[in-house]
Amino acid sequence: MKNPIKTIYDSSWIEMVVRWFLGVTFVYASYNKILAPADFAKIIYGYDLFPAALINLIAITVPFMELAVGFALIVGFYPRSAVLIVIVMLMAFIIILSVNLIRGHEFDCGCFSLKSGNAHARAGTVLVRDFIFLALGLFVYLFRDRRKLCLNAA
């Protein structure tokens, strides 16, 4: 009898859907940040974690990294490498959110929108969402079967 968990884990189609979902999510997340890097820099400044000299560099670099790994996941260009970068980024996001939650800081995460909102009330939800994305990323990273619709399955 086949193990149902192993069957799900070995399904190329599920891996492809998860990979595309993460890819589209990261491309979408990069969009407003690329269009308005100054607004994203203000959000990063609000985290109160980074030296002022690095904030503009982070505000310019992170969205283009999100865009690049998002497209890499969608087209399947070195998907394990791309998702490893996604995992590292998600772990960094989780740490940043956690530190600010622990400190009780009011902040916008700047994840998908650069508009101010009820960010502090939503920060816990964002943290849960990031842990779910992290689990999905780990699934893609640990996937060993042949990948569907990849330019390079490495």
- Whole-number pLDDT of residue 81: 94
Q: Are 20 and 76 in contact (CB under 8 A)?
A: no
Q: Are 66 and 26 in contact (CB under 8 A)?
A: yes
d(CA 25, CA 13): 18
Residue 124 CA from chain centroid, whole number: 16
Q: Where are the domains of the chain?
A: 4-142
pLDDT in tens, 76-128: 999 999 999 999 999 999 999 999 889 887 777 788 777 765 454 477 888 99
pTM above 0.95, yes or no: no
What is the pLDDT confidence band of residue 134, given thresholds at 50, 70 and 90?
very high
pLDDT in tens, 55-77: 999 999 999 999 999 999 999 99
Question: Ranked by mean pLDDT, which of 126-130, 131-135, 138-142 comes out on top?
Answer: 131-135
Check whether 7 has a pLDDT greater than 70: no
Query: Mean pLDDT throughout 25-48?
Result: 94
d(CA 50, CA 58): 9
